[in-house]
Structure 1
Amino acid sequence: MPIRLRRFIGTVLIIILVIVYALAAITFAELLLASAPVWVHLLYFFITGLLWVLPAMLIIKWMAGPKADHSP
């Protein structure tokens, strides 16, 4: 697959990931954390704010393509 196509698909996937993840995190917080103390909200949003990076890293790794073998 050409690298430009990989990057385009990866960019679209990351945009979709961020939108869906944010909506899911906010919906979950609204439904289950409404009566929780402030520190629970802070902890939840800190963790969920960092957690989206893991799937994004996999997408970015895929976008970069296979590693080139530079051995002689």
Structure 2
Amino acid sequence: MDASRELAPFVKQYAVLLSSHRQDGTSVGTPVNIAVEGDHAFIRTFSSAWKVERMRNHPRVELAPCTVRG
């Protein structure tokens, strides 16, 4: 499927629930701000955040629309 069509629901979305995975496979959801341009989605977070470490270990994540409170 075309990446830009997959990201279409998030174009006007301010925040999404980013689900990354721990070493044991447990899913951890974290609300993050998102910006979509074309076939790329951008998030911003601190480099020391645990979600960054989880994404380094397991780069496949899931996105779902949400509010900044989750």
Common fold by TM > 0.5:
no
**TM-score where L is the length of structure 1:** 0.23
Higher relative contact order (CA 8 A, sep 6+): 1
More helix by share: 1
**Higher strand residue share:** 2
TM-score, length basis structure 2: 0.24
